[in-house]
Amino acid sequence: MADITTSDTPGLTTADGRPLKSALAHAQARAKRRAFFLVLPLLAFVLITFVLPIGQMLFRSVHHDGFSSNMPALSAWFSENPRGTVPGEPAFAALAADLDQARINKSAGEIGTRINYDLPGTRSLFTSTARNADRLVAPYKDSMLAVNAQWDDARLWETMRGASSAITPNFYLSALDLQRAPDGSIERVPPENRVYLMLFERTFLLSAIIMGLTLILGYPVAHLLAVLPLRTSNLLMILVLLPFWTSLLVRTTSWIVLLQSQGVVNSTLVATGILTDETRIQMIYNQAGTIIAMTHILLPFMILPLYSVMRPIPPSYVRAARSLGASSWCAFRRIYFPQTIPGIAAGALLVFILAVGYYITPALVGGASGQLISNLIAFHMAKSNWSLAAAIAAILLAAVLVLYWLYDRLIGIDNLKLG
Amino acid sequence: MKRLLILTTALSGLAIPAAAQQVTVMGWGGAYTASQVEAYHKPFTAKTGISVVSVDADNPATPIKAQVEAKNVTIDVASVEIADAVRLCDEGLVEMIDVADLPAAPDGTPAADDFIAGTLSDCMIPTDVFSTVIAYDASKFPDGGPKTIADFFDTTKFPGKRGMKKGAKVSLEMALMADGVPAGAVYAMLETPEGVDRAFAKLSTIKADAVWWEAGAQPPQLLADGEVVMTMAWNGRIFNAAMENNKPFEIMWDGQVFEWEGWVIPKGAPNLEAAMEFVKFSTSTEPLAAAANFISYGPPRQSSGPLVGTFKNEGKVPMGPHLPTTAANLTNALASSLDFWADRDIELSERFNAWLASN
């Protein structure tokens, strides 16, 4: 207050004698607060339904305390002894004590599950040893090896060391087809178990193909809608929007009815003699099925932004170009097309990002070769391996953000028109 | 407010003695619960005077965990799958049930020997056995359909598409059995890397002809559409499609892989004694047989088999041939191994996904 009254304009005051500047600031602050309260519900909504779950997902992808919280003594041993220490009697004593506690707490399943993520085939090692852990006696190393010789496995100890801290990068390693060797270094998983990188690649490739197809199919339609008289174009617009109002599942299963090998399309081709019963084309339960169904389902997301950009383009520009001697191709390429780029950019970005995360359609019509990475995220969710699902999802999110950044650098995000 | 509180307290006080004469049973709903109401709930009330309240859940294992952890248990008995039962038991969320307490078979065989070997566990008493089988459309095979699991993998002898479950579980077991491994040796074989390679190699022989399904409702549809000539399927779904939609679907029982489900009692069940009575009664020989008249899931007691009658007791369709547990259907059958899948599920599923996704 004091500095305001001593500022350059001490003379200006309000009717009740307060300095104008502070009164104004006061009133504006109140308006701002009120405005803030108006957006508060939305802010809270976004925080609770968007930021919080994504934050939780990112946290889960690097955090799993199934082992560390249930095996305190052994975790302490790991933190005191550096990597490379041969586990001796104290380590086995800690292990036996923790397993006995796990027997009482009934937490052996949880511990085993965590280790099993990184070293398959070990869950029952933990549950069966813990079941009789009260019978383990000193010397614990001999006693435990007598129960199961696998307790001496270097790979098992390396895995337990990795799991002894709740924060772990291992789920990201799994999601990138990598694993830890017994000495702690990182190596690729055996070729027959590699799946994620290939699926990431396929997801982006198929999404790009679907994006291209929707553009090729959607551009002329949007143009037609934009140049027709409003009454006709509104009618046609309903046809574009109609699939929007139909359930996704209904649309996907209709494609099954149409495209399956005993379906409408194949049967018609056989009836007209183009195909025979032996040469029916497999158009579904493979990559083709995924591409066809997803192109159809995502088409409106391309047409709508294109239409909203094309509608306000005055037809006189192209007419002017033609009257100045441009060929129809030249007029399109140099006059019309550049003006539709914001629509293309918006539609392409929208379709691509939606396609990258698509789940239900590939699951239903994709068969084996049309599966996308989202199907594996769903798979791991169903198997309760949430951390791995979160790690794959986080990589997908990061990849999309990188593409978004590239897009911004190449085309510019302000050059985007969504309608 | 205070008065309301007093009133409700008084009412809940009154409710406690009344509740002692009832038991709350949680099931899966649909035709499955309907069969249990007819075979277990009604006869139990008639015999003991204890009323049975039936409630449904998508999977009763989920509310058990929530209720026991919140220390507010309202369920006395719940129907869960064996895999969930073992997990709940491991986590200490359900009561241990001693098999020695169960009634013996009518001929005096103790319960422990009467139940199909391998189906009993610490915390769950089995009520029914369901199975993954090979089903086919009889009208597509005028000269006779597949007879053995090897026929399912033989596309020269039986050309046509195959419906397959999109998952490692059951697929690998069936592949090995088709490759000539006896049912008893399947899991020992799958423990070895060579065994896993062998199973995947066998699966690869029909990969090009496979249509993959995920939901249990899909295989009957694939058969009905003529999209596949034979398919892996859950036996109950095929039976229902055959009965209710008059489809010419047949089940081939050779190489079936069966699982089972049954009763668990959550820790802290409000009517523990009545719950135990209910479990003992409903898993005795006759009620188990009666349930199989309403749904094509087999009774887990061997002594129940001969007592099974006809579908819905209508006297038309004998249920025996449609149950996974009928002796004739068990000649080459495999009990799904829980321990194996608890250990290997992640590893083999990952390999399966990789195998599936590669071209």
Q: What is the per-residue pLDDT for B359?
A: 66
Of the candidates A400, A308, A339, A207, the one whose C-alpha atom is nearest the C-alpha of residue A408 is: A400
Q: Is 80 exceeded by the pLDDT of residue B5? A: no
Which residues are within 8 A (CB) of A29 and not within 5 positions of it... i.e. 6 or more apart? none
Q: Is 90 exceeded by the pLDDT of residue B36? A: yes
How many residue pairs from chains A and B have C-beta atoms closer than 8 A?
Answer: 77
- For residue B345, what pLDDT band results from cuts at 50, 70 and 90? confident
Of A110, A193, A367, the CB nearest to B351: A193
d(CA B110, CA B129): 20
Give the residue on B whose Cα is nearest the Cα of A128. B339
Hey, which residues does B27 pair with through a beta bridge? B56
Q: Report the CATH number of the B2-129+261-327 domain.
A: 3.40.190.10
Sole residue written with tokens 């183009």: A274
For residue B339, the chain A residues in CB contact (below 8 A) are: 124
d(CA A185, CA A300): 48
Return the CATH number of B130-259+334-357, one of 3.50.50.60, 3.40.190.10, 3.40.1190.20, 2.40.160.20.
3.40.190.10
How distant is the Cα of A379 from the closest Cα of chain B, in angstroms? 9
For residue B123, the chain A residues in CB contact (below 8 A) are: none
Of A105, A260, A368, the CB nearest to B225: A260
Q: What is the per-residue pLDDT for B202?
A: 96
DSSP-derived 3-state class of residue B252: strand
Q: Is 80 exceeded by the pLDDT of residue B91? A: no
Average pLDDT, chain B: 89
Q: What is the per-residue pLDDT for B9?
A: 45
Please indicate if any CB of chain A lies within 8 Å of the CB of B343.
yes
Q: What is the per-residue pLDDT for B347?
A: 83
Whether the upstream peptide bond of residue A139 has omega within 30° of 0, thus cis, is yes
Sole residue written with tokens 């869960």: B80
How distant is the Cα of B358 from the closest Cα of chain A, in angstroms? 7
DSSP-derived 3-state class of residue B231: strand
CB under 8 A, 24+ apart: contacts of B118-123: B118/B335, B119/B82, B119/B260, B119/B300, B119/B335, B121/B82, B121/B85, B121/B86, B121/B89, B122/B89, B122/B96, B122/B97, B123/B85, B123/B86, B123/B88, B123/B89, B123/B94, B123/B95, B123/B96, B123/B97, B123/B264
For residue B350, the chain A residues in CB contact (below 8 A) are: 193, 195
d(CA A408, CA A395): 20
Asked if the Cβ–Cβ distance from B91 to A109 is below 8 Å, we say yes
Please indicate if any CB of chain A lies within 8 Å of the CB of B214.
yes
- What mean pLDDT is predicted for residues B197-208? 95
Give the residue on B whose Cα is nearest the Cα of A372. B357
Q: What is the per-residue pLDDT for A418?
A: 62
Domains in chain A: ranges and CATH: 2-60 (no CATH), 72-189 (no CATH), 196-415 (1.10.3720.10)
How distant is the Cα of A242 from the closest Cα of chain B, in angstroms? 27
For residue A122, the chain B residues in CB contact (below 8 A) are: 343
Backbone phi and psi for residue B121, each to the nearest 5 degrees, phi listed first: -140, 180
Q: What is the per-residue pLDDT for A17?
A: 79
Q: Where in chain B is the domain with CATH 3.40.190.10?
A: 2-129+261-327, 130-259+334-357
DSSP-derived 3-state class of residue B116: coil
Asked if the Cβ–Cβ distance from B90 to A117 is below 8 Å, we say no
The pLDDT tens digits of the residues spanning B271-322 come to 999 999 999 999 999 999 999 999 899 999 999 989 999 998 888 889 999 9
Asked if the Cβ–Cβ distance from A124 to B342 is below 8 Å, we say yes
Asked if the Cβ–Cβ distance from B92 to A106 is below 8 Å, we say yes
Give the residue on A whose Cα is nearest the Cα of B342. A123
For residue B349, the chain A residues in CB contact (below 8 A) are: 379, 383
The proportion of chain B whose per-residue pLDDT surpasses 70, expressed as a percent, equals 94
Return the structure tokens found at A213: 């197809």
How distant is the Cα of A202 from the closest Cα of chain B, in angstroms? 10
Of B225, B343, B354, the CB nearest to A192: B354
Per-residue pLDDT of chain A (419 residues; tens, 9 = 90+): 444 444 455 577 877 878 888 888 888 998 899 888 999 999 999 999 999 999 999 999 999 988 999 999 999 999 999 888 888 899 999 999 999 998 888 788 889 889 988 888 888 889 888 888 888 888 899 988 888 889 988 889 988 998 998 998 989 999 999 988 877 788 998 888 889 999 999 999 999 999 999 999 999 999 999 999 989 999 999 988 887 888 888 998 899 999 988 889 999 999 998 888 888 888 888 899 999 999 999 999 999 999 999 999 998 999 999 999 999 999 999 999 999 998 998 899 999 999 999 988 998 888 888 889 999 998 888 777 889 999 999 999 999 999 888 888 877 777 666 65
For residue B227, the chain A residues in CB contact (below 8 A) are: 260-262
Q: What is the per-residue pLDDT for B147?
A: 94
Q: What is the per-residue pLDDT for B206?
A: 94
Asked if the Cβ–Cβ distance from A260 to B227 is below 8 Å, we say yes
Q: Which helix (H) or strand (E) holds B305?
A: none
CB B255 within 8 A of CB B134: yes
For residue A123, the chain B residues in CB contact (below 8 A) are: 342-343
Q: Looking at per-residue confidence, does B177 or A129 come out higher?
A: B177
Give the residue on A whose Cα is nearest the Cα of B87. A109
**Neighbour tally for B43: CB within 10 Å:** 16
CB B310 within 8 A of CB B320: no
Q: What is the DSSP letter of A48?
A: I
Asked if the Cβ–Cβ distance from B227 to A261 is below 8 Å, we say yes
Of B91, B226, B354, the CB nearest to A195: B354
Hey, which residues does A259 pair with through a beta bridge? none
Q: What is the per-residue pLDDT for A121?
A: 80
Q: Is 80 exceeded by the pLDDT of residue B13? A: no
Sign of CA dihedral A385, A390, A396, A399: negative
3-state DSSP: chain B helix, strand, coil percent, rounded to 5?
50, 20, 35
For residue A285, the chain B residues in CB contact (below 8 A) are: 211-212
Asked if the Cβ–Cβ distance from B351 to A192 is below 8 Å, we say yes
Sole residue written with tokens 């027959």: A192
Q: What is the DSSP letter of B299?
A: P
For residue A282, the chain B residues in CB contact (below 8 A) are: none
Q: What is the per-residue pLDDT for A417?
A: 64
Between strands B22-27 and A186-188, the pairing is unpaired
For residue A368, the chain B residues in CB contact (below 8 A) are: 207, 210, 212, 356-357
- What mean pLDDT is predicted for residues B60-78? 90
Q: Is 70 exceeded by the pLDDT of residue B329? A: yes
Of the candidates B271, B270, B241, B238, the one whose C-alpha atom is nearest the C-alpha of residue B253 is: B238
Please indicate if any CB of chain A lies within 8 Å of the CB of B210.
yes
Return the structure tokens found at A84: 């490379």
